[in-house]
Structure 1
Amino acid sequence: MNVNSLDVIIMILYLLLLVVVGIIGSRRAKTSEDYVLAGRNLGFFMYFGCLGAVILGGASTIGSTQLGYEFGISGLWLVAMLGLGIMLLGIFLVKRISGLSVMTVSEYLSKRFGVEAGLVSALIAATYAMMVSVTQVIGMGTILNVLLGWELTVSMLVGGGIVLLYTILGGMWSVTMTDIVQFIIMTVGIFFIMLPLGLSKAGGWSNLQANLPETYFSFAGIGGAQIFQYFLLFALGMVVAQDIWQRILTAKTLKVARAGTFAAGVYSVLYGIAVAIIGMCAFVILPGLEDTQNTFASMAVEVLPSGLLGLVVAGVVSALMSTASGTLLASSTLVSNDIIRQFFKKELTDRQFLRLSRTVTTIIGILTIVCALWIQNVLVALDVAYALLSGGIFAPVILGLFWKRATAKAAFYSIIISSIVIIAGLAIQGLTSTAPIVYGIAVSFVIMVAVSLATGQKEEEYVPKEEM
């Protein structure tokens, strides 16, 4: 595909802008709390924008457009379940999370259930966060490959390298500042440019109704089993995701955290509807696409004029980069704070921990890019990530917060056994199977309850402090 030089210039300038903003953000990251949690000082607009940006990444844009092309409006369920999970979090858990004196999900589990549960949950949550970063690097590679004609490997290296650079420099402050830029651009690109122009090119909604199968207009067209799988993977996964908890802890007040979290959930649902409709338009405009993962990129080239194409591509790359940077930082924080500092470097000063965080971010970032080059499939990588997260640590986190009788032994065995069940099930039944996730969550809850009742609460109870 030929892309006008103006679009290429816009893209290059945008990427350079992110680097500059990242460098500016690095000047504010003077302590480990600045680096990991942006000083816990974000107001509503910055908090809402950053949370929305980290939720909506590669799978949300590229994956949901692909699902819209293949199934119609029901392709929205992937992103809608992300939004549902965020809204549930905002309604039921934000107050408890905001009152915890922790940096990570695993640090909470370590305080509540002991270091063994904290360690295994850190390994699972860090793997999840890194795999989500992998999906974003794959998405960036796909977009740049289709639109700019670069080799897929080169595209992944460029996109992933820029994210890694500004995340290393400023941590959460750089991520926050770049996310605000990215949130604005992706909102304009999707809602105000791509969606209306796509509908216009496809002949309007009435023409879609005339040319698409009837199932494309059914919210259940993708199938009840698939919708249920998305609920297990994404709605439940959002509730215990480290990158989301880490963003919640950046809010200045509990009121900001609650309002911003719920608003981000609503925004996510609207975003899912928009990209699913874009996929439906693509089915009419570009029938017979060989690789439906390229639906969004191909659609952009087909319907957008020069200049606007560059802006929309920047918007999509924004969505990818914001999630990649947030999950990359989440993974490195888990490894630095909950594994290395907890078990190997307990006496680190704040400055030493800041240096360690940057080093670990670099290593995980490189590993992320390598995995992206190896897997090269957005939806598969995302399914694996959320399957481990939802099945492995959802039950211990929820019961730990709401059930005082939950014990450390129960949490440890629950995480270990449910993770084994999920990995074995995915290996036997396939990476897209729903059953292993159901089995894993069920096993996790059963073990948590049975072992807790059998062993009793012998250790001193950890009761999270809440903001009043």
Structure 2
Amino acid sequence: MNITHIAVLICYIIVMIAVGAWFGRPRETASGEDFVLAGRSLPAPVLGGTMLATFVGSGSIIGAANFAYTYGLLPGLLFFSGTITGSLILVFLARRVRELAGHTIPELFDQRYGKAVRIAGTVMILIAFIGITAYQFTGAGYIISLITPLSEQSGAVVAAALITFLALTGGLKSVAWTDFLSALMIVLALWVAVFFVVGVDLGASASQVTSVGTDAGVLGGLSALQMLGFALPAFVLLLGDQNMYQRLAAAKSPRAALQGAVIFILGAIVMIVPIAVLAVASAILQPDIEPDMAVLSLADAGLTPGVVGGALLAGAFALIVTTGSSYLLTCSANVLHDLVGQLRRPQARSERQDLWIGRVAVLVIAALGFVMVSFFPSVLALQMYAYTMYGATITPVLLAGLFWRRATAAGALSAMAVGAVATIFWEVTGRSADLNSVIIALPLSVLALVVVSMVTSGGRNERSSASGRAARAAGASSSH
């Protein structure tokens, strides 16, 4: 137990609680709109920071670090290639998303396909996002167990409480600003750690970083198809990630949305490189540790100074906590707008009721996420499942709805059903140990979408195109 590490972690937690309490005041968060979309007030730097901290959580600092530790530097960087490619495409979509300015992805489904697809999409999103929330609890529990005498499970309970508190209090305003601070903290900590670990601990042996895993081949023993199976889930998740669309919609203007998306991709590159380098350096310095601990274990006093190690652990913890609270918050938006909101008349709803429904949803989803943790052997395994479940069921339907006029409701429902069944079958039968389920589930989902849409599309039944939908949405906005 390192007193410096504990002190740094406590300081971070105090700051996060203070920020959450500040934005939780009725003056700052007074309605469901404030809770879910921060009153559409986020400036570009905060927007970029919250997008970065939301997408780069324990799946990166633990899951991707595990991967780089096991297979080497090039595979470790390729693991993140889906994130970089997806974020580039998101830059081009940023203005359009802000102009549509919806609360959730299923809301867009309703405009394009109808209510049945909206409800089905909501269920798929909740199944996937509860999984993503779950491994944030696990990852934060790891860190607490490294710093304090608490076990990993007890640490996960503490982390779940903090994550839930941040989501409960100020909603997206609280989450976005804590994300921004956390992103700055972890980027600084990672690069300082690279200096000490690679520059000091490895020293003259630093050149070995590029050769780890290469004795088994350029991809560390993986085939090209297996490598694609690890890179593709992040790509398809990011392209359709409701968190990203929700944050772009929360920007104070379309221009701020575009600038925030650019900051996000630049920040992702700056954060991804040191994670991969540190994980591979850890494989050289600590060849017998648990791979999940590849980066986190470098906080040991024998490898980095106490303050640097404390900042690294606290920064990683910050990243995980803010990612968890973001996914809790976006799930509550689905419950509020796409489930409960469809059962009540608009005139029967009040802003205060929406606020409290959102908060109750956060509590329920947090409990479900905590239960899900016990069904997967590692953070990386749960990460691949959750990313694939979302990417195979939501992303094809979303992109087809935006860019393909002939996509139909029947095609969308078929894609969701096939993608979900294929993912679950591949995971339950254990085949994902050799080839990640995205390689099977995503093509089958797209095929179902295309074939069923072609069969069922027709001039009479075909719903309006993306441009027509945008025009109706703009007209509805102006009428309010």
Q: TM-score range by the shorter chain?
A: over 0.9
Aligned 1:123-142 pairs, distance under 5 A = 123-142=123-142
Post-superposition offset of 1:211: 9.6
Paired AA for residue 448 in structure 1: L
For 1:321 and 1:435, locate their aligned partners in 2 and report how far apart those are by CA, in whole Å: 27
Q: Residues 403, 34 of structure 1: CA spacing in aligned structure 2 closer, same or farther, 3 A cutoff?
A: same
The Cα shift of 1:367 comes to 2.1
Deviation at 1:115, TM superposition (A): 0.9
2:379 counterpart residue number = 378
Q: 1:223 offset after TM fit, Å?
A: 4.1
User: Which shows bigger deviation, 414-423 or 105-114?
Assistant: 414-423
Letter in 2 for 1:364: I
Partner of 1:79: 80
Q: Which residue of 2 aligns with 1:157?
A: 157
The range that moved more, 259-268 or 348-357, is 259-268
Match of 2:349 in 1: 348
| Aligned twin of 2:362 | 361
Partner Cα separation in structure 1 for residue 270 and residue 358 of structure 2: 35
Inter-partner Cα distance in structure 1 for 2:211 and 2:287: 11
Report the CA distance between 1:282 and its aligned residue. Answer: 1.1
Mapped partners of 1:444, 1:368: distance in 2: 26
Measured in 2, the distance between the counterparts of 1:155 and 1:447 equals: 43
Q: C-alpha distance in 1, partners of 2:130/2:437?
A: 21
Q: What does residue 464 of structure 1 align with? A: 469
Compute the TM-score of the two structures, normalised by the length of structure 2. Answer: 0.90
Q: Identity rate of aligned residues, in percent?
A: 22
In the TM superposition, 1:198-217 aligns within 5 A as: 198-204=197-203, 206-209=205-208, 212-213=211-212, 215=214
Q: Structure 2 stretches of 5 or more lacking a match? A: 475-480
8 A Cα contact 1:418 1:441, kept in partner: yes
Alpha-carbon distance between aligned partners in 2 of 1:371 and 1:308, rounded to the nearest angstrom: 33
Q: Which residue of 1 aligns with 2:56?
A: 56
Amino acid at match of 1:89: L
Shift of 1:121: 0.9
TM-aligned CA distance change 1:264 to 1:433, over 3 Å: farther
**Counterpart of 1:427?**
428
Q: Give the structure 1 partner of residue 477 of structure 2.
A: none
Cα-to-partner distance string for 1:83-125 (whole Å, 9 max, x where unaligned): 221221212x223322224211111112210111111111111
Q: Is the 8 A contact 2:66 2:380 kept in 1?
A: no
**Partner Cα distance (2:312, 2:436) in 1:** 38
C-alpha distance in 1 between matches for 2:340 and 2:127: 15
Change (3 A) 1:418 1:19: same
How far does the alpha carbon of each residue in 1:38-71 deviate from its partner, in whole angstroms, 9 at most, with x for none?
Answer: 1111111111111111111001112222222212
How does the TM-score come out when normalised to structure 1? 0.92
- Could you say if the C-alpha distance between residues 213 and 176 of structure 1 is closer, same or farther in structure 2, counting changes exceeding 3 Å? closer
- Give the superposition deviation at 1:255: 2.2
Q: Distance in 1 between matches of 2:216 and 2:201?
A: 15
Q: Give the total of aligned pairs.
A: 462
Q: 2:297 is aligned with what amino acid? A: S
User: For 1:61-460, what aligned pairs fall within 5 Å after superposition?
Assistant: 61-73=61-73, 74-91=75-92, 93-191=93-191, 193-204=192-203, 206-209=205-208, 212-213=211-212, 215=214, 220-221=219-220, 222-289=222-289, 291-301=290-300, 302-343=302-343, 347-372=348-373, 375=376, 377-432=378-433, 434=435, 436-455=437-456, 456-457=458-459, 458=461, 460=463
What is the deviation of 1:227? 2.7
Shift of 1:216: 7.7
Query: What per-residue deviation string (whole Å, max 9, x for no partner) do you get for residues 321-374 of structure 1?
Result: 111111111112112211121135653222211110011111111222333355
* 1:25–1:177 CA contact under 8 A, matched in 2: no
Distance 2:291 2:437 in 1: 27
Deviates more, 1:202-211 or 1:347-356: 202-211
Aligned AA (1:203): L
